[in-house]
Amino acid sequence: MTDLKNEYRIKELERKVSGLQIQVEVLHALHDADTRKRDRQIRDLKINAAVNRGIPRKEVARIYKLSPGRISQLTSRRSA
pTM for the full model? 0.71
Q: What is the DSSP string of 29-76?
A: HHHHHHHHHHHHHHHHHHHHHHHHTT--HHHHHHHHT--HHHHHHHHH
pLDDT in tens, 15-57: 999 999 999 999 999 999 999 999 999 999 999 999 999 999 9
User: 21 is in which domain, residue-wise?
Assistant: 2-79
Domain count, the chain: 1
